[in-house]
A and B are shown apart, each in its own frame.
Chain A
């Protein structure tokens, strides 16, 4: 609170970037966690909420006659342009936001103050939703080839690795420890994914400290052990995901890559994925293109090309394909590393898993995958996502690239993924938002020290409760497209610009009707029809039975004893749970289905409320109802004559 110099500014203008004529005037409030813009137009109460932790940069521009401009860039790619009447106020807001958006310690992060109305027992249960050991046993480990090693229980061997690690059965502790001493940050080769169909495994590590000629017997034994844990294979791949030049440069610093001569039966392979600095600059360039005001087609395509972004996405996907094919088609195990083994290695291993195993293409599977290959294996989320004020050179959109690879695959295989684009965007937003504890810190050890499980809520549980919003209507578990290895095309024209993420908040750019929402609505309706069908059938059965019974009554005995009638009536009442008949006939089939239990409903509602806070009212203002497809469309253009037309005449 002490950082808020000015809690409230009136007559602030929120400028619409696409068509300035649509700009709105209102009041800007600064709270401990959010900036809130409330439109002051009579009759409507439009609110735009921006979480401080999502703010990436705040820029104050030179004062003009109309006021002083404040440009806010968010990590979820939202850009807000406020015009504040007085320079002084703008200055205060600027300083406050700058401080609020750059927390200096973890305790300042939103997840530690975010307290939805959820009981402590439920909160603790949230963290039990995903169980990595269950995923390993789903893969089929431990087994006679792979064992759970307690060696890193206390993070003594590698402080950035998780406590539970799977290693080859034959790898004795001295071999593991020896190997870890020969690897950057002690990140020795360990299991990431195991294919129980053919025993091929994906292992990961950091680079070996080989320099120009150093060797390590234990490390060589470790790789030998990995090779032997795939009994039917006589060699394994070692994939260095860096460009060869980078790897060679590392040798001068006593690091480097495996010498094929020293390791028995390895095939060594470079895959040129660029480093975090190249990726950061590339995304920055692409975002500049996305932000251009009314760019020409050439501006856009040239900018996209010179950013190199899609080239990098292709490189990551190509690497994932190489590994997935080695495992699925050649049944050969692969050891993947880069420098530290927490950026490119995480990308490539997880992309390979998505390609290989249909499980990771389900909602729960993708969450498990991110939890394993990214969170548990020490992708440095807090550094890469700039959660705290820190070294800007550590920031890099490595996880963005993974999510985008998944999206590119969804574009090619529309039936193969259980989740939709919204799911990826929601995950992306919350990786940066710090609302949930999942991505706080840089590794498991740090999260334990921070007491994340004890003090914060879990994103996975929130997503799981709201899974209805994230289901891809085209997904069918038994569809041929869903099965086995995905074989995507990597021709350049198959890679598209991800408008849904990078221009997420530029509502005007998106299709005005969504096929997916339409199908989702249809499927909900279908579900209700199923229920009605069952209930009608039951009711008809009853009535027919009753009639048959009455007819027999009429023909056999003319004496209608009151007891007989009573019996009949009793039967009818007993077999009909509730009298819905009238309701069903009069109600429209589109009426929402009642939730199964109020227990689920309660936290669901609460979570949704907080979600709205995070995703800041942009949805509310542009009217998501307009985008929903079942209603006739283009409402917003009818209501908002200026909406798109400015673009036509400006061009």
Chain B
């Protein structure tokens, strides 16, 4: 089966590759010397290797290419390759025809529609898989943890064949007293069948966070008793809960005209509804494009930079998302209330809020493995359409499709919290950057597909390697570990003041300025900590030696 695929693939690609190889190509990259070498195109990679020592200087996935531009000066052509990880490189290609061929081939190869032609289906790991990442975060296992804390929830198989909700996984946690028939009815009342499911259980006080799609109340205020019953089942007697609608009241009102809506006070008297203002996907995408444009502005004018930064609204989005997540966490931890979060579909802003709230509340999510589990639960299994959202990034010209940096904004918010609590996370910034890169282009199958049903059809565990298989090896873990980490079991409340929220330089200025000095500072920091550990060990071993010598001492005295 795999062999067939590869053969099919190779044939397919061969047609697209008009010129597989060009000599004398010059590569320009920011902050690195230019390299002259041979350019090779394969089905999935653009490779440039210098002829001198035959080492690869550039190994770029076609799927990482966001846009490509051609320029000609005489017979010397250049292509400017703009990548989804925001890097911009230039290749000078001698010969007009070669340049045109390379350019059109790359363009075709980087915009292949068929998922099954993507690199993860061809990639074979060159490393030893210690633990198969596809089995690392199974819902059954996660549920075992929940069972150890509470018996109020059960794992339902109602969505076993994805018929109730195509974006939900086959197993979801629901209140114990709610049966599958009720779930089916509730699903018909929620956007895309996304009935309320458990997102997080707060061990400290037994409060929960649920997420769902918007209720389909429509203009005439349809109601669904089963829906009310389901969410009320999560409330303690006499207690009220909070519904956090990530949309403004106006947007939520307008949604009624299209069959959507929100929970009315009359039908949900035990719930208090709060509206927030997290923008929709297309607005976020526009923000990313503007922000990256601002970062690449060469004018050197402070006014221009600040006004473009402001106009991109990126930092506003970060602030809104973080604020909403903090609010959800506050309701749970401080008010002792359960929370239901939804927006429209419940696959974007909803997940930003529920996953960030868990980072704030749950120390386990701040470990490397715990964070993987969070991404797996709250993003992959929860049905965030990665393939659609990450098809293009900031340089793309195709406007207003499904693309949106929803996940990138989540990572940005995590980075903000990490900056404010630099010792409370087991992972360092590089882990977040790595997830950003792999969400947009990867050799691993982890971020392929849209929603649980779509992903199931792709047979990813059988045909691709999981990113977690690669990450969870000692050498990678070491690279991603935060040397400052000291487990902090407390809830961490970040500041959301504009003065506290910074531009994520590690992503947005990564290719615009040299990070040499900052990298050196990081190394110095690691050195200080390592040296301390080393001395600690030496002192301990000497202390043991000393204790031994001292106990031997009296023996000598008694002949």
Contacts and interface: CB of A to CB of B under 8 A. Distances in A.
Q: Which of B318, B487, B556: most chain A CB closer than 10 A?
A: B556
Contact of B330 (A491, A635, A638, A648): A648
Interface string A473-492: 11010011100000001111
A519 B528 contact: yes
A651 B520 contact: no
Given A508-B497, A536-B539, A633-B423, A297 B319 contact: yes
Contacts of B303: 305, 308, 311
Contacts of B492: 512, 633-634, 637
Given A297-B319, A508-B495, A304 B306 contact: yes
B422 interface: yes
Interface stretch (B166-174, B260-268, B382-390, B529-537): B529-537
Contact of A302 (B302, B310, B326): B310
B162 interface: no
B315 A645 contact: no
Contacts of A515: 422-423, 484, 525
A543 B517 contact: no
A645 B328 CA distance: 11
Interface string B297-339: 0001111111101100101101110010011001000100000
A649 B497 CA distance: 12
A540 B320 CA distance: 61
A537 B549 CA distance: 12
B488 interface: yes
Contacts of B525: 474, 515, 519
A301 B309 contact: yes
B512 A493 contact: yes
B534 to A, nearest CB: 9
A518 interface: yes
B503 interface: yes
B493 A412 contact: no
B517 A525 contact: no
Interface in A627-641: 629-630, 632-635, 637-638, 641
Interface stretch (A89-97, A269-277, A375-383, A526-534): A526-534
Contacts of A544: 549
Contact of B500 (A480, A499, A513): A499
Interface string A583-598: 0110001000000000
B29 interface: no
A605 interface: no
A298 B310 contact: yes
A555 B309 CA distance: 84
Chain B interface, DSSP helix/strand/loop, else mixed: helix
Contacts of A308: 302-303
B290 to A, nearest CB: 13
A296 interface: yes
B520 A589 contact: no
B509 interface: yes
B538 interface: yes
Contact of B556 (A479, A536, A550): A550
B315 A301 contact: yes
A512 B559 contact: no
A95 to B, nearest CB: 34
B304 A492 contact: yes
Contacts of B327: 648-649
Interface string B498-509: 111111000001
B423 A543 contact: no
A492 B500 CA distance: 19
B375 interface: no
Interface string B468-502: 00000000000000001011111111111111111
B543 interface: yes
B496 A533 contact: no
Nearest to A629: B423
B513 interface: yes
B310 A632 contact: no
Q: Which of A519, A585, A630, A651: most chain B CB closer than 10 A?
A: A651
B108 interface: no
A490 B301 CA distance: 10
A509 B499 contact: yes
Nearest to B523: A415
Interface in A411-425: 412-416
Chain A interface, DSSP helix/strand/loop, else mixed: helix
A539 interface: yes
A412 B517 contact: yes
B499 A300 contact: yes
Nearest to A302: B310
Interface string A292-326: 00111111111011001011001000000000000
Nearest to B277: A651
A304 B306 CA distance: 8
Contacts of B420: 511-513
A426 to B, nearest CB: 21
B295 interface: yes
Contact of A479 (B309, B520, B532, B545): B520
B539 A543 contact: no
A511 B421 contact: yes
A215 to B, nearest CB: 37
Given A526-B531, A547-B552, A645 B316 contact: no
Contacts of B556: 547, 550-551, 554
A495 interface: yes
B153 to A, nearest CB: 27
Contact of B539 (A299, A301, A533, A637): A533
B553 interface: yes
Contacts of A479: 520, 524
A305 B306 contact: yes
Nearest to A492: B305
B550 interface: yes
A523 interface: yes
B393 interface: no
A647 interface: yes
B521 interface: yes
Closest 8 CB pairs of A and B: A492-B305, A300-B498, A414-B521, A305-B306, A301-B310, A536-B542, A529-B535, A311-B302
Given A526-B531, A643-B493, 15 more contacts: A296-B316, A301-B498, A308-B303, A310-B306, A491-B513, A492-B301, A493-B513, A497-B499, A499-B499, A513-B424, A519-B529, A529-B539, A581-B546, A644-B494, A649-B327
10 contacts: A296-B498, A310-B302, A415-B524, A489-B514, A493-B295, A493-B309, A506-B499, A632-B486, A633-B490, A637-B490
Interface of A: 18, 290, 294-302, 304-305, 308, 310-311, 314, 412-416, 473-474, 476, 479-481, 489-497, 499, 503, 506, 508-515, 518-519, 522-523, 525-526, 529-530, 532-533, 536-537, 539-540, 543-544, 546-547, 550-551, 554, 581, 584-585, 589, 629-630, 632-635, 637-638, 641, 643-645, 647-649, 651
